[in-house]
Structure 1
Amino acid sequence: MVRIALDPTPYHHDHGLLDFPDIAARLGYDHLQLTPHADFGPFYRYPKADDALVAALRKRVADAGITIPALLPVQRISSPEEPQREAAVRNFSRIIRLAVELGVDTLNTEFSGRPERSEDSEAAFYRSMETLLPLAEREGVRINFDPHPDDFVEDGLEAWRIIRGLNSSSVGFVYVASHTFHSGDRAASLLPELGDRLGAVYAADTFDHHRSHGLRYISNPPGNAARVHQHLAIGDGDVDWTGLFATLGRTGFLDREDAILVSNVFAEDERADEISRFQLERLRALIDTGRAAASNEGAGADA
């Protein structure tokens, strides 16, 4: 069945890297997705982990009785600025090797280009993947991409087209619930098309910024290009969780052993323990609901 992983970002400021496995286990999680951390793989910079740190982390993971099913690196591999892109490829290549040393076979990441230069960023993405994809395929590492708000591709369907263009089963999709209203609010139609190329789903809520005729959020100056979204606890926003998990049930995602659900609430660090436990409870309930909905639909179709 699908694995539920904790995103430890709310704990980055108060705990060391090697504390994260114990934190995840203490909160009831069996899995941890390692997000950008200054001691391991910081945002946009060269990874800082050496063999000794990787070995220490592996031991802490084993001692805690959990697993790390995925790393989340963020590097500017789609930057239209060539020096940035070249550095990002070098950094990402190192992350792939670190994943192998850590015994991790999945990287969940972002395209990391620029929306105002979408054509140049797309070209940069494919250029970077000419180097990264053969390395990932050789090492048995899968790379899943999230079309993040303020990236060169934000719409989920268009992101899938870009991924599909690589023509490799080693590349997949990350569906982020808190990006629902930036990515087209198309889970019911997109997720079935992705099939087993959907590698991960991130679980946090958000408000629909399109509501109230676009005035739900007011940012100044009017018409600026800011992308506003939240990572709230499930139920605190506008995401249709019942519908999302019914779709995940129909597509078989919830029954796949290689699939990952990541709890990634960032809005309430002061209640991180409480929220993390709540998220785990809600995700387990939603999995049951989604699987039951899929089973009932199957029974109805056979009747």
Structure 2
Amino acid sequence: MKIALDPYMYRHLSIPKMVEKVADLGYEYIELSPREDFLPFYKYPRVDKARIREFKNALRDTGVKLSSLLPMQHWAGPEEEDREAAVRNWMRCIEIAVEMDVDVLNTEFTGHSDKPYKCEQMFMRSMEELLPIIEKEGINLHIQAHPFDFIERNNDAVDLIRGLDKDFVGYFYAVPHTFFYDNGKGDIASMLEYAGDKLKHINIADTYNHKASSCLRYVVNPPGVHATVHQHMDIGKGDINWDVLFSKLREIKFDGIATVAVFGEEDRADDSSRFMLQEVKKGLDIESRQKEIFADLYKK
């Protein structure tokens, strides 16, 4: 298993300083989310050979590795012009992943929840163009459902990924989206079981159940406005049942990428990142699992 940090709270640092910070915090892996000087949200990448060389040198000097890159593009947007631009941008992202020796790209379905049929058509059109290239380059693609995407539910997302029927396309379960995934029930165990062998990637942060307290866990004005609200907080600050999550991941022997993805703690980013690493290792019982692996290797 790879435990990675999404360094979004450190996006103000230069790339070398960001990598140094991740190493100082005790993480072995980085999952690089969008940042303006590399893969910005919904824009063409801002990367040349010099910046790639700078990044790779920083990784080499610190011993930190890239678990994955996270491009965000409107590849399922309802407008064809936007979709075409997103595919063009994705092709460059794939080239960058190859140059960075990264074999995982993770992303979101995108699109609009109020136009699911149209956005699914656009998504499938993008898949027809991109999946052959992704497969040719030996890259794995992990996709998550996100609030306001054309798919917001766990089971629907898993079903569509199964429908693509590609071994290199996997499901990304975002813990802070749990209450969108099953309309407020928060039945994590059932959703992870449904994902089954398609579950390749999770990100970890706490969140509130927006359906709780008669849907008044948040108050949004004007009443009835179409909005999606969630957080990415430290473990223990929200409504996620962490005992259930971690016990289920241990039970299924999850061995993919687990990314710490806290965004709401910038005023205490270092303390948050260290705390989360400690909690994830404890929750997943990493030390015991490592001992089992070493014992098996010794027997062989």
TM-score by length of 1: 0.92
Whole-angstrom CA distance in 1 between matches of 2:154 and 2:195: 10
1:270 aligns to what?
Answer: 267
How far apart are 1:288 and its partner, in Å? Answer: 1.1
Q: Is the 8 A contact 1:70 1:106 kept in 2?
A: yes
How far apart are 1:219 and its partner, in Å? Answer: 0.4
Whole-angstrom CA distance in 1 between matches of 2:149 and 2:218: 20
Q: Do residues 118 (structure 1) and 106 (structure 2) align?
A: no
Q: Is the 8 A contact 1:7 1:263 kept in 2?
A: yes
Residue pairs, 1:153-164, within 5 angstroms: 153-164=151-162
Aligned in 2, Cα 1:105/1:192: closer, same or farther, shift over 3 Å?
same
How far apart are 1:62 and its partner, in Å? Answer: 1.0
Q: Do residues 149 (structure 1) and 150 (structure 2) align?
A: no
Q: Do residues 8 (structure 1) and 15 (structure 2) align?
A: no
Whole-angstrom CA distance in 1 between matches of 2:43 and 2:15: 17
Whole-angstrom CA distance in 1 between matches of 2:53 and 2:169: 27
Q: Do residues 204 (structure 1) and 201 (structure 2) align?
A: no
2:278 aligns to what?
Answer: 281
How far apart are 1:289 and its partner, in Å? Answer: 8.5
Q: Is the 8 A contact 2:281 2:287 kept in 1?
A: no
Aligned in 2, Cα 1:291/1:112: closer, same or farther, shift over 3 Å?
farther
Task: Give the match's secondary structure for 1:115.
Answer: coil
Q: Is the 8 A contact 1:173 1:199 kept in 2?
A: yes
Q: Is the 8 A contact 1:247 1:290 kept in 2?
A: no
How far apart are 1:196 and its partner, in Å? Answer: 3.4
Task: Give the match's secondary structure for 1:107.
Answer: strand
Task: Give the match's secondary structure for 2:223.
Answer: coil
Task: Give the match's secondary structure for 2:211.
Answer: coil
2:237 aligns to what?
Answer: 236
Whole-angstrom CA distance in 1 between matches of 2:287 and 2:84: 43
| CA root-mean-square deviation | 1.6
Aligned in 2, Cα 1:291/1:218: closer, same or farther, shift over 3 Å?
farther
Per-residue CA distance 1:149-206 (angstroms, 9 max, x = gap): 0111100100111111111011111111111101113421222232332121111000
Q: Which runs of 5+ in 2 are unaligned?
A: 293-300
1:223 aligns to what?
Answer: 224
Task: Give the match's secondary structure for 1:70.
Answer: strand
TM-score by length of 2: 0.92
Runs of 4+ in 1 over 6 A off after TM superposition: 289-292
Q: Is the 8 A contact 1:242 1:290 kept in 2?
A: no
Per-residue CA distance 1:254-293 (angstroms, 9 max, x = gap): xx2xx1111111111010001000000000100119989x
1:45 aligns to what?
Answer: 43
Kindly provide the amino acid, as one letter, of the partner of residue 280 in structure 1: L
Task: Give the match's secondary structure for 2:164.
Answer: coil
How far apart are 1:251 and its partner, in Å? Answer: 1.4
Per-residue CA distance 1:70-116 (angstroms, 9 max, x = gap): 01111000011000000000101110110011010001100110111
Q: Is the 8 A contact 1:17 1:37 kept in 2?
A: no
Q: Is the 8 A contact 1:21 1:60 kept in 2?
A: yes
Whole-angstrom CA distance in 1 between matches of 2:191 and 2:265: 30
Whole-angstrom CA distance in 1 between matches of 2:65 and 2:279: 21
Kindly provide the amino acid, as one letter, of the partner of residue 264 in structure 1: A
2:105 aligns to what?
Answer: 107
Q: Is the 8 A contact 1:248 1:290 kept in 2?
A: no
Q: Is the 8 A contact 1:146 1:176 kept in 2?
A: yes
Q: Do residues 75 (structure 1) and 73 (structure 2) align?
A: yes
Whole-angstrom CA distance in 2 between matches of 1:11 and 1:239: 25
Amino-acid identity (%): 43
Whole-angstrom CA distance in 1 between matches of 2:287 and 2:209: 23
Q: Is the 8 A contact 2:38 2:45 kept in 1?
A: yes
Task: Give the match's secondary structure for 1:182.
Answer: helix
2:214 aligns to what?
Answer: 213
Q: Is the 8 A contact 1:245 1:289 kept in 2?
A: no
Whole-angstrom CA distance in 2 between matches of 1:219 and 1:134: 43
Q: Is the 8 A contact 1:78 1:128 kept in 2?
A: yes
Kindly provide the amino acid, as one letter, of the partner of residue 26 in structure 1: D
Q: Which runs of 5+ in 1 are unaligned?
A: 296-303
Aligned in 2, Cα 1:46/1:236: closer, same or farther, shift over 3 Å?
same
Whole-angstrom CA distance in 2 between matches of 1:42 and 1:133: 22
